[in-house]
Amino acid sequence: MAAEREPPPLGDAKPTDFEELEDGEDLFTSTVSTLESSPSSPEPASLPAEDVSTNSNGPKPAEVVLDDDREDLFAEATEEVSLDSPEREPILSSEPSPAVTPVTPTTLIAPRIESKSMSAPVIFDRSREEIEEEANGDVFDIEIGVSDPEKVGDGMNAYMAYRVTTKTSLSMFSKSEFSVKRRFSDFLGLHSKLASKYLHVGYIVPPAPEKSIVGMTKVKVGKEDSSSTEFVEKRRAALERYLQRTVKHPTLLQDPDLRQFLESSELPRAVNTQALSGAGILRMVNKAADAVNKMTIKMNESDAWFEEKQQQFENLDQQLRKLHASVEALVCHRKELSANTAAFAKSAAMLGNSEDHTALSRALSQLAEVEEKIDQLHQEQAFADFYMFSELLSDYIRLIAAVKGVFDHRMKCWQKWEDAQITLLKKRETEAKMMVANKPDKIQQAKNEIREWEAKVQQGERDFEQISKTIRKEVGRFEKERVKDFKTVIIKYLESLVQTQQQLIKYWEAFLPEAKAIA
Amino acid sequence: MEGRQAGKESKQPSSVSVDLQGDSSLQVEISDAVSERDKVKFTVQTKSCLPHFTQLEFSVVRQHEEFIWLHDAYVENEEYAGLIIPPAPPRPDFEASREKLQKLGEGDSSITREEFAKMKQELEAEYLAIFKKTVAMHEVFLQRLAAHPTLRRDHNFFVFLEYGQDLSVRGKNRKELLGGYLRNIVKSADEALITRMSGLKEVDDFFEHERTFLLEYHTRIRDACLRADRVMYSHKCLADDYIPISAALNSLGVQEVNQLKMSFLKLAEFFERLRKLEGRVASDEDLKLSDMLRYYMRDSQAAKDLLYRRLRALADYENANKALDKARTRNREVRTAESHQQQCCQRFERLSDSAKQELMDFKSRRVISFRKNLIELAELELKHAKGGGTQDTWV
């Protein structure tokens, strides 16, 4: 990445140009929501080119659009990149390239343009290292907590509201500590928005916790038993982890939707997240269609790295699934052990009561107490088994599915590019035919179409390279996170297992003299 | 499974203490045992200087049915009505274990060779444990008989110990088993009747207390035994669960090339350690707790049976009294009635005396056994927990 620190001379290798311009773009988008306009001419090319991943934010597709056109402009331009309005007018008027699926409406482009003349002193002045550091988590200061689940409403329309508390020293937020109330569908809505913006350009968007119709129904119906409290706790923890993962992602953190989710007191209800809604069914149909498509796309993989990584993730997925299934069995059996130990403790106590030899009676009562304490221990261990180990595994199984999805998007991107190339070829053939048939008007039309498709081919190639690059970075970040995550959890989990054994020692050591005291 | 020799290993039946002190004139042990198909053949070795026997040392081979025959012979013998007859050993049951081994053999292709080897090892250990237990149970039965001053002198016992040939005792057929069950039902009904019979007052506080005590104790110890079994079963399940977890962690560790590798491998190793630990905890709890509770459940049942017999004798005595009165008023067959009443009285008193002694022995036996087993249980649990608690520096 060091190589990209210096702004490359314009007109050079396309990718790096592209990146630099994109970075310039990034700076602007980040200024939108947080800075007041202070008109001053933005710095020219001496601006440190920033790493795409560190400060990239906002909807990618729209950026791509603009850069694309700017690329054209700068092909003949001088070194100085003046980001003043005159040069950017043409950008405004050009329509987004059809190759990109624009998720962000053009409205977002407009405000960005307005602020183009703004300087973003906070971010501009920051050195590159600082920003990268922040993204890498050393000075990355944002803590999210999900707590206080409370039931709102009655009957089948009831829902659980969770308190989302954010503590941060990041400047992009207006306060350093704030909290809002959110319901589960809000989280799903957030994920849906992030996914639609970022997934298809190669960002690994952490998946939201799964819906559970059965679980929620029990809660709605108002069963105050342990299984519904367990369900709520499981969900709360899952939502917390989900948010924590999402904010750790430097790109996603900059997203306005995420910020709105964390900050604003009122959030428009996300209705398209219901499982049985029209949108839900559409999603299912799309997923099925995707699966079919995946099987028919045969990509010429020019980059072995991707093939390797895909295989690696496939293996990892299989093994995690296996491990997860085994751990689930463990949790179940440990809970059984706890229940059985408690039952035994009770019957030992009863036996102690019946026993008419005093010392033996006392010893049996002590045994019952020890077994009760051991039961507690088993329960705590089962808790750790589940929340530390099992949930980590299931989180990563779903994360890897997101990673696989991103690889699939790359394939689709390649397919689009391929298709564009094929169409271009056809258009050229048509042109040739028209030339031979000597139909001047048709020739002109053919020429227009050729130009159009040439642009699309270029766009397709750029998209493909962009997504490939993004994926590489994302996978690198993902792997780092994964290693960190697993290491932390494994250490904590091992500690809990060791702790359990040590507690057992204490209990039995206390019991031994009692047993010896039987006379 | 062929020739599993368990007899030579753990000699002392670990769950029951039998007081063999003070009398080495008759020593009985099961020196060898062989499992063939669905039969277990026990080699019963006796060392004795008693005059009844023709040799000082001799062995015979006996099967489970012959032990049952011996037990029933004691129970049906009027002479021993005032004694607690040691409970019969349970039938050797390898069904469950054998089934599991078979299922494992049929194979689940999704498990690795390592996992398969571990599971096989576990099942074989289980089989061996069951085998050892059944040997211990049979041995304890004989040793209690040998230690009891009255019971050891039984003729059937000598035959059992010495007679070289097969005793030609077949297992009970269904009719006999059913008959046995019915007899038990009749017995409890009878008992209920007797106790409610007006006029039958328990004269002795000791027995009154014992009856109440034993009734409650037996129920509760049965409960405790069942629940202890379930705890042990859960421990075994856990131990089995650790096998695939350890294997999966290992393969994950092998695949990783980064720092995570060590973490996975360490965790895999720890689970392997835990597996052995849980397995041992399960088997120790089985021996020291479950088996002990089970034994005293049976022994307390035997004690209850004794009380019933005494109660029956008391009822007979009462009836004889009434009959005597009736005979006196009618002045018919007075002498027969008198002698019958005498007999019943004597029998009742004989039973009461020996029962008192037996019940006191039962209590002291119980206390000693519980003490020994609870101490050993605690010590073993400590040993295992310490084995799993020490953690060298990892990652």
Tell me the residue type at A65.
V
Cα separation, B125 vs B4, in Å, equals: 12
Average pLDDT over residues A146-154: 87
Nearest chain B alpha carbon to A337:
B234
Instruction: Tell me if B227 and A315 make a contact (CB, 8 A cut-off).
Output: no
For testing the chain B interface, which of A478, A484, A490, A503 should be mutated: the one with the most B CBs within 10 Å? Answer: A490
Residue B65 in contact with partner chain A when CB distance is under 8 A: no
User: What residue spans of B111-204 are helical by DSSP H?
Assistant: 113-147, 155-162, 174-196
Residues β-bridged to residue B39: B36
Contacts of B252 (CB under 8 A, 6+ apart): A316, A319, A320, A323, B264
Instruction: Tell me if A512 and B378 make a contact (CB, 8 A cut-off).
Output: yes
Which of A159-163, A287-291, A328-332, A410-414 shows the lowest mean pLDDT across its residues? A287-291
Residue B266 in contact with partner chain A when CB distance is under 8 A: yes
The Cβ of residue A358 has, within 10 Å, a number of other Cβ atoms equal to: 10
* Residue A144 burial (10 A CB sphere; 0-12, 13-18, 19+): buried
Cα separation, A333 vs B245, in Å, equals: 13
In this predicted structure, the answer to whether residue A27 has a pLDDT above a threshold of 70 is: no
User: What residue spans of B256-333 are helical by DSSP H?
Assistant: 260-285, 291-330
Confidence (pLDDT) at A199: 86
Option in A319, A360, A483 nearest B258 (CB): A483
Confidence (pLDDT) at B165: 79
What residue has token string 């009154």? B208
Confidence (pLDDT) at B132: 86
Helix H or strand E segment including A191: helix A184-198
Cα separation, B223 vs A348, in Å, equals: 9
Name residues 175-214 of chain B within 8 A of A (Cβ).
Answer: 209, 213
Nearest chain A alpha carbon to B234:
A337
Option in A327, A344, A501 nearest B389 (CB): A501
What residue has token string 């010896």? A516
Cβ atoms of B64 and B89 within 8 Å: the answer is yes
Instruction: Tell me if A512 and B264 make a contact (CB, 8 A cut-off).
Output: no
Residue B227 in contact with partner chain A when CB distance is under 8 A: yes
Which of A86-90, A368-372, B88-92 shows the lowest mean pLDDT across its residues? A86-90
Helix H or strand E segment including A144: strand A142-152
Cα separation, B46 vs B58, in Å, equals: 6
Helix H or strand E segment including A167: strand A159-168
Residue B332 in contact with partner chain A when CB distance is under 8 A: no
CA distance B228 to chain A (A): 6
Rounded (5°) CA angle B229-B230-B234: 120
Residue A316 in contact with partner chain B when CB distance is under 8 A: yes
Nearest alpha carbon to residue A376 among A494, A470, A262, A504: A504
Q: Over the Cα atoms of chain B, what is R_g?
A: 27
In this predicted structure, the answer to whether residue A114 has a pLDDT above a threshold of 80 is: no
Confidence (pLDDT) at B268: 92
Cβ atoms of B292 and B15 within 8 Å: the answer is yes
Residues β-bridged to residue B35: B40
Backbone angles phi, psi at A78, to 5 degrees: -85, -175
Confidence (pLDDT) at A176: 87
Domains, chain A, in order of start with CATH, read 138-276 (3.30.1520.10), 311-518 (1.20.1270.60)
Cα separation, B137 vs B16, in Å, equals: 9
- Taking only the tens place, the pLDDT of each residue in A89-113 is 333 333 333 333 333 344 333 333 3
pTM confidence score: 0.75
Q: How confident is the model at residue B18 (pLDDT cuts 50, 70, 90)?
A: low
Cα separation, A296 vs A291, in Å, equals: 9
Confidence (pLDDT) at B67: 93
Residue B108 in contact with partner chain A when CB distance is under 8 A: no
Nearest alpha carbon to residue B234 among A376, A371, A339: A339
Token duo for residue A367: 């045994």
Q: How confident is the model at residue B157 (pLDDT cuts 50, 70, 90)?
A: very high
Cα separation, A90 vs A70, in Å, equals: 9
Average pLDDT over residues B199-217: 83
- Taking only the tens place, the pLDDT of each residue in B325-342 is 888 888 888 888 889 999
Nearest alpha carbon to residue B294 among B222, B361, B359: B222
Return the DSSP state at B151: G
Confidence (pLDDT) at B64: 92
Cα separation, A498 vs B271, in Å, equals: 11
A120-to-A31, A79, B104 alpha-carbon distances in Å: 6, 22, 69
Q: How confident is the model at residue A429 (pLDDT cuts 50, 70, 90)?
A: confident
Token duo for residue A482: 């994964």
Q: Is the dihedral of CA A262, A263, A266, A272 positive or negative?
A: negative
Give me the count of residues in chain B.
395
Q: B107 or A507: whose pLDDT is higher?
A: A507
Cβ atoms of A348 and A368 within 8 Å: the answer is yes
B110-to-A47, A315, A395, B237, B255 alpha-carbon distances in Å: 58, 15, 24, 19, 18
Return the DSSP state at A302: -
Residue B162 in contact with partner chain A when CB distance is under 8 A: no
Average pLDDT over residues A218-226: 71
- Taking only the tens place, the pLDDT of each residue in A405-420 is 999 899 989 999 999 9
Nearest chain B alpha carbon to A316:
B252
Contacts of A48 (CB under 8 A, 6+ apart): A5, A7, A127, A128
Nearest alpha carbon to residue A399 among A283, A255, A252, A246: A246
Strands annotated E in B6-137: 26-36, 39-48, 57-63
In this predicted structure, the answer to whether residue A258 has a pLDDT above a threshold of 50 is: yes
Token duo for residue A510: 């206390």
For testing the chain B interface, which of A316, A317, A321, A347 should be mutated: the one with the most B CBs within 10 Å? Answer: A347
Confidence (pLDDT) at A476: 92
Q: A394 or B13: whose pLDDT is higher?
A: A394
DSSP A72-104: HHHHS--S----SHHHHHHHHHSPPPTTS---S
Helix H or strand E segment including B216: helix B205-255
In this predicted structure, the answer to whether residue A131 has a pLDDT above a threshold of 60 is: no
Chain B residues inside the 8 Å CB shell of A518: 367, 370-371, 374
In this predicted structure, the answer to whether residue A44 has a pLDDT above a threshold of 50 is: no
CA A137 and chain centroid, separation: 16
Return the DSSP state at B204: -
Nearest chain A alpha carbon to B387:
A501
CA distance A30 to chain B (A): 35
Q: How confident is the model at residue A157 (pLDDT cuts 50, 70, 90)?
A: confident
Cβ atoms of B81 and B353 within 8 Å: the answer is no
Helix H or strand E segment including A130: helix A128-136
Cα separation, A246 vs A234, in Å, equals: 18
CA distance A331 to chain B (A): 9
Chain A residues inside the 8 Å CB shell of B251: 319
Domains, chain B, in order of start with CATH, read 1-112+136-171 (3.30.1520.10)
Cα separation, B102 vs B237, in Å, equals: 18
Instruction: Tell me if A494 and B224 make a contact (CB, 8 A cut-off).
Output: no
Instruction: Tell me if A487 and B223 make a contact (CB, 8 A cut-off).
Output: no
Backbone angles phi, psi at B20, to 5 degrees: -100, 10
Contacts of A131 (CB under 8 A, 6+ apart): A50, A51, A54, A55, A123
In this predicted structure, the answer to whether residue A14 has a pLDDT above a threshold of 60 is: no
For testing the chain B interface, which of A312, A318, A326 should be mutated: the one with the most B CBs within 10 Å? Answer: A326
Average pLDDT over residues A429-434: 85
Q: How confident is the model at residue B22 (pLDDT cuts 50, 70, 90)?
A: very low
Option in B231, B242, B394 nearest A340 (CB): B231
Instruction: Tell me if A363 and B255 make a contact (CB, 8 A cut-off).
Output: no
Instruction: Tell me if A351 and B267 make a contact (CB, 8 A cut-off).
Output: no
CA distance B264 to chain A (A): 8
CA distance A314 to chain B (A): 12
Chain A residues inside the 8 Å CB shell of B363: 356-357
Cβ atoms of A374 and A504 within 8 Å: the answer is yes
Size of interface A-B (CB pairs under 8 A): 152
Mean pLDDT over all residues of chain A? Answer: 74
For testing the chain A interface, which of B245, B365, B379 should be mutated: the one with the most A CBs within 10 Å? Answer: B245
Option in A326, A341, A505 nearest B382 (CB): A505
Q: Is the dihedral of CA A415, A418, A424, A427 positive or negative?
A: negative
In this predicted structure, the answer to whether residue A203 has a pLDDT above a threshold of 50 is: yes
What residue has token string 């090319």? A45
Instruction: Tell me if B248 and A343 make a contact (CB, 8 A cut-off).
Output: no
Confidence (pLDDT) at B355: 93
B361-to-B202, B218, B257, B323, B372 alpha-carbon distances in Å: 21, 17, 67, 36, 16
Token duo for residue A101: 């699926």
Q: How confident is the model at residue A169 (pLDDT cuts 50, 70, 90)?
A: confident
Q: B72 or A139: whose pLDDT is higher?
A: B72
DSSP A361-428: HHHHHHHHHHHHHHHHHHHHHHHHIIIIIIHHHHHHHHHHHHHHHHHHHHHHHHHHHHHHHHHHHHHH
DSSP B217-259: HHHHHHHHHHHHHHHHHHHHHHHHHHHHHHHHHHHHHHH--ST
CA distance B312 to chain A (A): 25
CA distance A389 to chain B (A): 11
Residues β-bridged to residue A505: none
Q: Is the ipTM here above 0.95?
A: no
Instruction: Tell me if A322 and B244 make a contact (CB, 8 A cut-off).
Output: yes
Q: How confident is the model at residue A223 (pLDDT cuts 50, 70, 90)?
A: low
Name residues 472-491 of chain A within 8 A of B (Cβ).
Answer: 479, 482-483, 486-487, 490-491
Confidence (pLDDT) at A2: 39
Residue B255 in contact with partner chain A when CB distance is under 8 A: yes
Q: Is the dihedral of CA A444, A449, A450, A451 positive or negative?
A: positive
Confidence (pLDDT) at B171: 62
Cα separation, B349 vs A32, in Å, equals: 105
Cβ atoms of B265 and A375 within 8 Å: the answer is no
Backbone angles phi, psi at B172, to 5 degrees: -65, 135
- Taking only the tens place, the pLDDT of each residue in A49-78 is 333 333 333 334 333 333 334 434 334 434
Cα separation, A241 vs A394, in Å, equals: 12
The Cβ of residue A11 has, within 10 Å, a number of other Cβ atoms equal to: 14
CA distance A143 to chain B (A): 25
